[in-house]
Structure 1
Amino acid sequence: MGCGILLTYPEIGIVAGVQGVLVYALSSSLPIMLFAFVGPLVRKNCPEGFVLTHWVFERFGYWAGLYLGILTILTMFLYMASELTSIQALVELLTGMNLPVVIVECVVTTIYTTWGGFHTSFFTDNVQGIMMTLLLVVVSIAMGTNIEIDRSQIAASGLTGSTRLGWQLFYILPVAIASNDCFLSGFWLRTFASRNDKELKIACAIATFVLFVYLTLCGFTGIIADWSHVYPGNPPQDAYLAFFLIVETLPAWVVCFVLVFGVALSTAVFDSLQSAMVSSVSNDIFRNKLPNKYVRGMVIVVMIPAIFVALKSPNVLQIFLISDLISAAAMPSILLGLSPHLFFLSGFDIIVSGCGGVMSVFIFGCVYYGSASGGGSMLLLMNGLYGDDWSAFGAFVAAPFGALLFLVASVLFRAIVCFIYAKATGTEFTVFKRPLQSSVDRNSVDLISINDEDQYPDEESLRNNDMLAKKVSY
């Protein structure tokens, strides 16, 4: 959780009320459980992996793995830009000064992640959890003792009732966040590094509960800002600044506290993104054949455009939405590859499906707005998530379902071409023929079985071998 949650969740409290906050918090926390159930399946099929793309390379081939790798790196780039946008906004709002904080953060995190690797990121995540708890406790107490809520404003605000947007978000946010989480290599690094499936499930359950509580508290600050007449302020401010409008009314020591802890939160999440990008670039692009120092150098170069995007981006949520839309188009067909009944899916089908999902959004935009420029605007979700229309909802319907339609079309096209080729050459038609199992199936010995975790009492020592140490070092 970076300091971006202090911008996006209060905003939804202002826009969609209690319903929006609860839906957003649930949609952000429940997808963590995806790794508790899908993670073991991926690890079972790819026991030597450490990120999702490692399995995709083995399951779908080189080009599909490269395709997912590029999308993963793009997603993490957008997340890095959004986090830098958030920390820059936090510092400017609380200090009134335009400080080069994003450059300082990039330099500092690069130094200590280069020195300590992913182990350092694990450590800072633990510190981040403690600091996030302290931040919420201190700010909650300060708000409770300094903010006066106008009770007559509660009913009139309309924030306690359901809205059309709230019901739209009930579909949009789970699809967007669940698919996008699969693109974040930091989650997969933790999934593969967990000792066994039982501990992975416990960790995911704890994380889901803690995230829901924390994010709900963050979201309700927007509602409190409205009920206390702090929002929209004088002069009127954007909804995503609701939390900071409250903080400005609190004692100076609380403002300093929020500033220090906000920077610490941002740093902790940014170093995870850096470490994950190093792993992704090394594995997905160069197949672990390029020395790590050169990969880290490339990541440093990538941070330069991330800083530029962060300084020019008007809204953190806009960056998230573009990333969510791409993942919603690409991820469904990839996860279907885990099913043994869909063994016939190929890398070609996966790429066509993902590109087709994005194309479906463009087509929907052209129809909805009546022009090609409208289709381009739909791809970038220029009207945002909270527009008073069906554009965002339609885009997130078109992306996954359009991708699945293109997946079916790709399989049929490939089958027809292969059938014609087989007839013309007199060879066997093998598109839907299940491949023969090897006499020694590498998955027959499952070190992290979902149902038989106690079958191998020395499982921890088996997993803590040189290969795992090599993986974590990325």
Structure 2
Amino acid sequence: MVSTTTTLAVTVLTLVCFTGLGLWYVRRRGGVRDAEEFVSARNSTGTGATTATLVASVMGVWILLAPVEAGAAFGGLSAVLGYAVGEALPMLAYARLGPRIRELIPEGHSLTEYALARYGPAMYAFVLLVSVFYMFVFLAAELTGIASAFELIAGVPRWQTGVLVGGFVLLYTSYGGLPASIFTDSIQTVLVLPLLLVSAVGAVLVLGGPAATYGAVVATDPTLVDPTFFTGLRFGVWVAIAILGAELINQTWWQRIYAARDTETLRRGFRTAALVNFCVVLLAGLFGVVARGVADVVVTGEEYNASIAFFVLLSEAFPESLVLGVVLLALLLVMSTADTLFNALASVVTADLPRLLDDPDDRTLTWGARLLTVVVAVAAILVSLRAQSVLRLFLLADLFGAAVMVPLLYGLYSRRATGPGMLVASLSGLVVGLAFFQSPIVRSALEALPVVGPRLPPADFLFAFVGAAGVSAVVAVLAARVADATYDFDRLATTVRRFDDHSGERVDAVDEPAD
């Protein structure tokens, strides 16, 4: 175990450096001029910065937890491949969706603005709930993950890690908004990728080289390195759908669609990020395969510890110098995601302030965004200090995303998609997904229902996520076919406007989609 003092010293030094860099960058730019810049940094990033912020925003400390657990307990290499594909798919999807979003909503800020303007208040409320729930769970899970990891490998009290990481990241994000986040993301990406590669190479060398490591894994379970292993492939399919659904309702990516300098920059950035994210998740997941072969990783029963397989491997096999390198890596990972989520959550709510207040000025919007960032940060820190299993909420949040992704985005292409029809489609997919969802809490709640309980099908994540996505997509298409509405896409550009534009039709004036 690394000493608590050394770990805290590395933590504080890293946090101070990045907080200082974020504040310096914003002050050098003359501060954040208005709410527009705070939440969108519109048309400000080139291809390199766009790619870097996309990669950094994905690479949270979760990559040392979830893909590693997949490799150790859910099918080895084939499961890891599915996880990596799942992380690449959303980037490829946004490379196509992003230009369409910029074309139809050139002055937009958030997916909730689009949902309200395109579908009306009912679908908007549902999308807002799902998106905020997912992002908050993601943020709380990140802080919980880093606190749990530092407690395991260095005995650092959870509250110290949560308060330090959350507090320092809050300092520069609440002051500098999205511009500060994108700048620090670029630096974090440059540092994280080599650190991850060095950690992987160092681990293999410590374990005796590639041949010895491979032999140990094969001796433990040959299916771990079989890319055609059915159990792993099955896991890979449903987890890819789960991740795709979650990321398509993640405000993080909508912000970066508008931050890119132009459409071509957007396309190149998302495509490059897809490749990098695939490689990063694949590499991280392989730690789980290795851990299963050489460390005391338990994948069944009460002693199950595959969820922290990476840190089990770390504590058993790595020298202190390599452990400190991983501590730095984990810190950079959680910072790169936490600042992104702080901004994304603040931007969603800030975009709604003009509908809640009577024509607020720019100063009100900017300070409102900062205040909401503080509230979100404090709430996430408190959750991370108390929750032991918040990571389990990820799959439930993913299920909501899988159910809503097609109905939400279908309106970018179909003129006949209506708010009531897409809401019914989303809820239909969600009902099917919940019926199969493999969670003791959800399952017991459904089984207690007098009519539904006895008729529930066997729990299965594959059917849950395929059902949620497939049923919602089919119902969305059918609902659009029977609808007699014809939406005018030009309305999106007039109802969703910049915060400082007080002309034209207000987005809150939309009660129902136009016929």
TM, length-normalised to structure 2: 0.72
Q: Residue 437 and residue 154 in structure 1: after superposition, are their counterparts in 2 closer, same or farther (change >3 A)? A: closer
- Aligned AA (2:429): G
Q: Deviations over 1:343-400 (max 9, x none)?
A: 222222222222232222344469x99x97363799xxxxxxxxxx861112112312
**Structure 1 position 14 matched with structure 2 position 72:** yes
Paired with 2:479 and 2:184, the residues of 1 have a C-alpha distance of 44
Paired with 1:177 and 1:9, the residues of 2 have a C-alpha distance of 12
Aligned positions of 1:3-152 closer than 5 A: 3-15=61-73, 16-100=75-159, 101-148=161-208, 149=212, 151=215
Q: Residue 374 and residue 442 in structure 1: after superposition, are their counterparts in 2 closer, same or farther (change >3 A)? A: closer
Report deviation, 1:20.
0.8
Q: Residue 376 and residue 266 in structure 1: after superposition, are their counterparts in 2 closer, same or farther (change >3 A)? A: farther
Aligned positions of 1:150-169 closer than 5 A: 151=215, 153-154=217-218, 156-157=220-221, 158-161=223-226, 162-169=228-235
Paired with 2:134 and 2:334, the residues of 1 have a C-alpha distance of 17
Aligned positions of 1:337-376 closer than 5 A: 337-339=411-413, 342-364=414-436, 373=444, 375=446
Paired with 1:57 and 1:220, the residues of 2 have a C-alpha distance of 42
Q: Residue 87 and residue 274 in structure 1: after superposition, are their counterparts in 2 closer, same or farther (change >3 A)? A: same
Q: Deviations over 1:404-454 (max 9, x none)?
A: 455478669xx7xxxxxxxxxxxxxxx51536798xx9979xxxxxxxxxx
Equivalent of 1:401 in 464, 470, 485: 470
Report deviation, 1:53.
2.3
Query: Residue 223 of structure 1 corresponds to which residue in structure 2?
Result: 289
Contact 2:66 2:307 in 1 (8 A): yes
Q: Deviations over 1:267-293 (max 9, x none)?
A: 221011001111001114654846332
Report deviation, 1:308.
3.9
Aligned positions of 1:389-468 closer than 5 A: 391-404=460-473, 407=476, 432=484, 434=486
Report deviation, 1:61.
2.5
Contact 1:45 1:55 in 2 (8 A): no
Paired with 2:261 and 2:464, the residues of 1 have a C-alpha distance of 39
Paired with 2:144 and 2:448, the residues of 1 have a C-alpha distance of 22
Query: Residue 506 of structure 2 corresponds to which residue in structure 1?
Result: none
The count of aligned residue pairs is 414
Paired with 1:179 and 1:332, the residues of 2 have a C-alpha distance of 9
Paired with 2:190 and 2:310, the residues of 1 have a C-alpha distance of 20
**Structure 1 position 320 matched with structure 2 position 388:** no
Paired with 2:489 and 2:392, the residues of 1 have a C-alpha distance of 47
Query: Residue 297 of structure 1 corresponds to which residue in structure 2?
Result: 371
Query: Residue 453 of structure 1 corresponds to which residue in structure 2?
Result: none
Q: Residue 394 and residue 285 in structure 1: after superposition, are their counterparts in 2 closer, same or farther (change >3 A)? A: farther
Q: Does the residue aligned with 2:61 lie in a helix, a strand or coil? A: coil
Q: Residue 185 and residue 434 in structure 1: after superposition, are their counterparts in 2 closer, same or farther (change >3 A)? A: closer
Contact 2:173 2:343 in 1 (8 A): yes
Q: Does the residue aligned with 2:417 lie in a helix, a strand or coil? A: coil
- Aligned AA (1:112): Y
Q: Deviations over 1:81-115 (max 9, x none)?
A: 11111111121122123242112222212211122
Contact 1:30 1:208 in 2 (8 A): yes
Q: Deviations over 1:40-60 (max 9, x none)?
A: 111111111122222222222
- 5+ residue gaps in structure 1? 379-388, 416-430, 445-463, 468-474
Contact 1:42 1:55 in 2 (8 A): no
TM, length-normalised to structure 1: 0.78
Query: Residue 264 of structure 2 corresponds to which residue in structure 1?
Result: 198
Q: Residue 142 and residue 80 in structure 1: after superposition, are their counterparts in 2 closer, same or farther (change >3 A)? A: same
Query: Residue 275 of structure 1 corresponds to which residue in structure 2?
Result: 343
Aligned positions of 1:255-274 closer than 5 A: 255-274=323-342
Paired with 2:282 and 2:488, the residues of 1 have a C-alpha distance of 50
Contact 1:46 1:54 in 2 (8 A): no
Report deviation, 1:156.
4.8
Contact 1:51 1:192 in 2 (8 A): no
Contact 1:43 1:192 in 2 (8 A): yes
Contact 2:295 2:313 in 1 (8 A): no
- Aligned AA (1:375): L
Q: Residue 316 and residue 163 in structure 1: after superposition, are their counterparts in 2 closer, same or farther (change >3 A)? A: farther
Q: Residue 260 and residue 406 in structure 1: after superposition, are their counterparts in 2 closer, same or farther (change >3 A)? A: same
Q: Residue 255 and residue 105 in structure 1: after superposition, are their counterparts in 2 closer, same or farther (change >3 A)? A: same
Contact 1:360 1:403 in 2 (8 A): no
Q: Residue 435 and residue 180 in structure 1: after superposition, are their counterparts in 2 closer, same or farther (change >3 A)? A: closer
Paired with 1:376 and 1:265, the residues of 2 have a C-alpha distance of 39
- Report % sequence identity: 26
- Aligned AA (1:353): A
- Aligned AA (1:42): I
Paired with 1:312 and 1:107, the residues of 2 have a C-alpha distance of 17
Q: Deviations over 1:183-211 (max 9, x none)?
A: 22111111112122221111112111111
Contact 1:109 1:270 in 2 (8 A): yes
Q: Deviations over 1:205-263 (max 9, x none)?
A: 21111111111111111111222245349x96611222112222222122122113312
Q: Residue 239 and residue 96 in structure 1: after superposition, are their counterparts in 2 closer, same or farther (change >3 A)? A: same
Contact 2:174 2:373 in 1 (8 A): no
Q: Does the residue aligned with 1:159 lie in a helix, a strand or coil? A: helix
Query: Residue 386 of structure 1 corresponds to which residue in structure 2?
Result: none
Query: Residue 447 of structure 1 corresponds to which residue in structure 2?
Result: none
Bigger shift: 58-67 or 31-40? Answer: 58-67
Contact 2:169 2:339 in 1 (8 A): yes
- 5+ residue gaps in structure 2? 1-58, 450-457, 502-515
